[in-house]
Amino acid sequence: MTKPANINDISDEFKIRPRDRDRLLKVLETKDEDENARFLDDREIITRAIEVFLTWELEPEKILDELQKVKMTPRQEDAFANTMKQKLEGGSVSDYSTEEEKNLQETARESVGDYEKMLANHESSLERITFDDFDEVSEPFEEGPENYSTEITYDGWPLLWNFYSRLLPAKITLTALGDLMNRSDQSLVSLGGENGFRVFAFDISEELAEKLRTYERQNKLGRTKKLSTGFPKERSTDNLTQGLVEKRFKDKYATTVRRSRKTGEHTEGALAALELITVKEYEGQHYITMTELGKEFYKLPNPVLNGDYSHAFSDDEVKFITEKLIPQRELEDRLCKKALEIVSTFGEDETNNSEILNNAFKEEFEEFVKSFEGSSHHKERLEKEFIEAGISVRTTDGKKEKETPIEACRVATMGRLSELGLIKWKIGPNTSSEYTILEKPRDLL
Angle subtended at Cα 375 by Cα 374 and Cα 377, rounded to the nearest 5 degrees: 145
pLDDT of residue 89: 44
> CB-based contacts of 411: which residues, under 8 Å, 6+ apart?
162, 403, 433
Do residues 203 and 141 touch, judged by C-beta distance below 8 A? no
pLDDT of residue 98: 67
Residue 442, pLDDT above cutoff 90: no
Q: For 9-18, what is each residue's pLDDT tens digit?
A: 555 566 777 7
CA within 13 Å, CB half, 11: 4
Residue 173, pLDDT above cutoff 80: yes
Whole-number Å distance between alpha carbons of 146 and 142: 9
Residue 140, pLDDT above cutoff 70: no
Query: If residue 273 lies in a helix (H) or strand (E), which one and from where to where?
Result: helix 270-273
Residue 439, pLDDT above cutoff 90: no
pLDDT of residue 113: 95
Query: Residue 7 carries which DSSP code?
Result: G
Average pLDDT over residues 129-134: 78
pLDDT of residue 97: 55
Residue 142, pLDDT above cutoff 60: no
Q: Most confidently modeled of 33-37, 62-66, 254-258?
A: 254-258
pLDDT of residue 136: 65
- Look over the chain and give the mean of its residue pLDDT values, rounded to a whole number: 83
User: Domain spans of the chain?
Assistant: 27-67, 73-326, 329-445
Whole-number Å distance between alpha carbons of 80 and 7: 34
pLDDT of residue 11: 55
403 confidence band (pLDDT: 50, 70, 90): confident
Query: In the chain, what percentage of residues exceed pLDDT 90?
Result: 46
Do residues 242 and 129 touch, judged by C-beta distance below 8 A? no
Which of 276 and 238 is assigned the larger pLDDT?
276
Average pLDDT over residues 32-48: 75
The lowest-confidence range among 21-25, 289-293, 384-388 is 21-25
Query: If residue 213 lies in a helix (H) or strand (E), which one and from where to where?
Result: helix 197-218
Which of 148 and 220 is assigned the larger pLDDT?
220
Residue 347, pLDDT above cutoff 60: yes
Which of 93 and 181 is assigned the larger pLDDT?
181
Average pLDDT over residues 420-431: 78
Residue 399, pLDDT above cutoff 70: no
Query: Residue 144 carries which DSSP code?
Result: S
Do residues 391 and 407 touch, judged by C-beta distance below 8 A? yes
pLDDT of residue 445: 46
pLDDT of residue 108: 92
Which of 98 and 337 is assigned the larger pLDDT?
337
145 confidence band (pLDDT: 50, 70, 90): very low
pLDDT of residue 143: 55
Residue 400, pLDDT above cutoff 90: no
Q: For 245-261, what is each residue's pLDDT tens digit?
A: 898 899 999 999 987 66
Q: Most confidently modeled of 137-146, 326-335, 398-407?
A: 326-335
Q: For 351-367, what is each residue's pLDDT tens digit?
A: 678 889 999 999 999 99
pLDDT of residue 346: 82
What letter represents residue 66's amino acid?
Answer: E
Whole-number Å distance between alpha carbons of 97 and 198: 10
What letter represents residue 239's amino acid?
Answer: N
Helix ranges (DSSP H) in 63-194: 63-67, 74-88, 99-110, 114-120, 122-130, 168-184
Whole-number Å distance between alpha carbons of 215 and 219: 6
